[in-house]
Amino acid sequence: MLIGFIILIIFIIAFTLFYFLLERNKRELVVSRRNVLLNVGKPSKFEDIRIQFREMKFRLFKSIALFSSNYPFFVITLGLIVVAFLSHWLKEMTILTDPVDLWTPTNSEALKQKQYFESNFGPVPRQTKVIISYHRKPSSHPENGDLSSYVLSKNVLKKVLTLQNKISGIKIWDDANSDYVTLGDVCDTPLGPENKDCDVRSVLNYWQNQQERLDKETTDKAGKTVDYRDHLKACLSNPSLWNDNTSLQLPCVGPLGQVVKPESVIGGYKGSHIEEATALFITIPLNEYLSDNDPRLRKAMMWEKAFLKFMTNYSIGDELNISYSAKALQSHLFVS
């Protein structure tokens, strides 16, 4: 209906333009005749054809204008019928939103390999991402392990952990099933189906997503304080450790036993200076499905939309930026 209304508006605008063209052609025709009459001798063949063509246009537009003014109801009705007839096939139109369908040829070798992989190993998970960064980059290098001005400071890590826990707790009511859709229903669960813990990737995995372990402090044999910075340094060097070899005696692997590579959860640093990082990533892989009609896909998209709504209203602090994305909106990026 909206498309039909737009076409009708275009028709009215086109008719208005025809009217102005009619008036202009009428004036030009009068001027041309006057110029021909003023010229000495008989007009050229080309000039004669040009005048005849203008007269034909004048008569045509005049006839249309007179007919439309004498029978306005018929003209409007005819226009609506034409619009309705042309709009009938809109229901057969399919709008492509998947970037793969938009930009990849059907005979592409890469597309064939992707389809082969998905048919044998399942589709690539849907990625929900959050990026936390400072408004401004620190001007100096950290001294004596002081990370207070960086995203790896304990203050920022606590804020990220709070955000991560709130995201994990998002749930949306599903009227179709009369139940809530939670992250555990739609996320990638490596230890499932018995264990519904999601494979949420972030730097907090080095502390198994537990604030108690992040706050843990002790002293070594030399009386030196050992805290989260020492544990972080050990985990960045070897994220597969089950014991960080410090007085904290904490593991580096994630809560599911997964090895979290630093470059997948920390960004914005040069070379090996990870402590100077300016961004932290939270990645939540959701289950993907090959069929668009799969009811489980509807649940995943419901959760993604609830996630986007939650992030739109979330504030992590004036000094930090939050960027986030979800596949429900075809990888559109939102920044707050």
> How many residues are recorded in the chain?
336
The predicted structure's pLDDT at residue 284: 94
Q: 11-15, 16-20, 265-269, 305-309 — which is least confidently predicted? A: 16-20
User: Between these two residues, 317 and 279, which has the higher pLDDT value?
Assistant: 279
The predicted structure's pLDDT at residue 195: 79
Q: What is the pLDDT of residues 244-303, one digit of tens each?
A: 899 999 999 999 999 999 999 998 887 777 878 889 999 999 988 878 788 888 999 999
Distance (Å, rounded) from C-alpha 311 to C-alpha 163? 9
Residue with tokens 């996630």: 307
Q: What is the mean pLDDT of the chain?
A: 81
Distance (Å, rounded) from C-alpha 72 to C-alpha 311? 53
Alpha-helical (H) ranges within 216-260 are: 228-237
DSSP codes, 239-251: TT-SS-SSTT---
| Alpha-carbon torsion angle 181, 184, 186, 191, nearest 10 | -160
User: Between these two residues, 64 and 140, which has the higher pLDDT value?
Assistant: 64
Best-predicted range by mean pLDDT among 74-78, 193-197, 226-230? 226-230
Helix (H, G, I), strand (E, B) or coil at 207: helix
pLDDT at 213 over 60: yes
Q: What is the pLDDT of residues 21-62, one digit of tens each?
A: 656 655 555 555 555 555 545 556 666 677 777 788 788 888
Instruction: Sort strands 126-134 and 320-325 into parallel, antiparallel or unpaired.
Output: antiparallel
Does residue 299 contact residue 186 with C-beta atoms inside 8 Å?
Answer: yes
Mark 41-67 as b/e (b = at least 16 C-beta within 10 Å): eebeeeeeeeeeebeebbeebeeeeee
Does residue 180 contact residue 172 with C-beta atoms inside 8 Å?
Answer: yes
Whole-prediction pTM value? Answer: 0.67
Using alpha carbons only, how large is the chain's radius of gyration in Å? 34
Distance (Å, rounded) from C-alpha 325 to C-alpha 336? 12
Task: Please write down the HEC assignment for all residues of 5-52.
Answer: HHHHHHHHHHHHHHHHHHHHHHHHHHHHHHHHHHCCCCCCHHHHHHHH
